């Protein structure tokens, strides 16, 4: 199949592209290569995708000729977007509306005239829930984002649903819960923790470390994307949580990393940041019922694999 992966140079997009290529598909990857984090990392991600069936296009979805980009495409994985809760406040908000809302709308609009399209998969975020009503949180629970980033991801979700109901686009949205693993972005917690541990530096923690997260290993996230893209019982407009089921505190993670590292860590607890929720935890009953997907990598194993990767590259 001919498949488009947006954000193909990113953490999820590059891993997804590799998996698709390994299964014999042709992949067109597109990425704006923004400098939110080191562009060199994105270049390294792309260098790791070695296949004659991979075509890379560098550019902005708001400006590219989408008719040409989408020609013959059967599945779209829309992983691109402006990430990060903390930067989404203030003057940077326009970057989030442009890349998370406007780019999504333009891609959806172009997809409405694509007669080859079989599935449009949108990468959403657990940030849309904010401080949720209950845990584990179900897809039917009321979204209440507490950051501008979460607002834009929820807006993208609403657009995806609108194009399913009004134009019959075969869309599905996946709400990712804290994706981690080898190759994770350098601004994300586990990579920061591991790099600091390896170099004997101080690990900065926003808050007191009691905040709870549902961490999801990268291979499981890729598997969820494939499950919904190729699944036969996934109605258009579906929304699913993609969560690892760990539900542990940041302090628990630090204790586990101390064990893996084999030496004490230097930890500095800092002031909590606006927009960070205290807890996340996703119920994955719906995606399992529709596709059979379940997370398969426990936190201890996944963190160890990320640590071993970090020793070689961080």
Closest to 194 in 3D by CA, of 313, 38, 45: 313
Cα(234)–Cα(69) distance, integer angstroms: 26
Query: What ranges do the domains of the chain cover?
Result: 2-176+218-242+282-295
Instruction: Note the pLDDT tens digit of each residue in 3-48.
Output: 999 999 999 999 999 999 999 999 999 999 999 989 999 999 999 9
Instruction: Note the pLDDT tens digit of each residue in 240-254.
Output: 999 999 999 999 999
Q: Indicate the fold that domain 2-176+218-242+282-295 takes in CATH.
A: Rossmann fold (3.40.50)
For the segment 274-282, the average pLDDT, to the nearest whole number, is: 93
For 114, the token pair is 């694509």
The pLDDT score that the predictor gives to residue 306 is 98
- Averaged confidence pLDDT in the chain: 97
Instruction: Note the pLDDT tens digit of each residue in 38-96.
Output: 999 999 999 999 899 999 999 999 999 999 999 999 999 999 999 999 899 999 999 99
For the segment 175-194, the average pLDDT, to the nearest whole number, is: 96
Rounded CA Rg of the chain:
19
Please identify every residue annotated as catalytic. Answer: 149
Residue 273 confidence (pLDDT) above 90: no
pTM above 0.95, yes or no: yes
Cα(151)–Cα(129) distance, integer angstroms: 10
Residue 312 confidence (pLDDT) above 90: no
Cα(209)–Cα(196) distance, integer angstroms: 16
């Amino acid at each position: 199949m001919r498949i488009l992966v947006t954000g193909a140079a990113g953490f999820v997009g590059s891993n997804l592209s590799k998996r698709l290529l390994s299964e014999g598909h042709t992949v067109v990857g597109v990425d704006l290569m923004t400098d939110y984090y080191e562009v060199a990392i994105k270049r390294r991600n792309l260098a790791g995708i070695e296949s004659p069936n991979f075509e890379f296009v560098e550019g902005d979805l708001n400006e590219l000729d989408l008719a040409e980009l989408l020609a013959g495409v059967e599945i779209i994985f829309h992983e691109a977007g402006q990430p990060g809760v903390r930067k989404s406040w203030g003057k940077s908000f326009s970057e989030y509306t442009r890349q998370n809302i406007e780019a999504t709308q333009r891609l959806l609009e172009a997809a409405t005239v694509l007669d080859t399209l079989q599935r449009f998969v949108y990468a959403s975020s657990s940030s849309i829930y904010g401080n949720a009503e209950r845990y584990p949180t179900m897809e039917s629970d009321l979204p209440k984002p507490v950051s501008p980033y979460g607002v834009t991801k929820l807006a993208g979700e609403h657009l995806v649903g609108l194009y399913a109901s009004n134009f019959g686009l075969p869309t599905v949205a996946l709400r990712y819960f804290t994706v981690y693993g080898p190759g994770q972005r350098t601004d994300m917690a586990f990579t920061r923790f591991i790099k600091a541990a390896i170099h004997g530096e101080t690990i900065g923690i926003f808050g007191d470390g009691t905040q709870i997260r549902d961490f999801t290993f990268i291979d499981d996230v890729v598997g969820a994307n494939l499950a919904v893209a190729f699944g036969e019982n996934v109605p258009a407009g579906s929304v699913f949580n993609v969560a690892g089921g760990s539900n542990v505190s940041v302090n628990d993670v630090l204790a586990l990393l101390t064990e893996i590292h084999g030496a004490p860590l230097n930890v500095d607890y800092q002031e909590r940041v606006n927009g960070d929720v205290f807890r996340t935890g996703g119920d994955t009953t719906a995606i399992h019922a529709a596709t059979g997907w379940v997370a398969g990598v426990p936190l201890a194993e996944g963190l160890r694999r990320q640590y071993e990767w970090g020793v070689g590259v961080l």
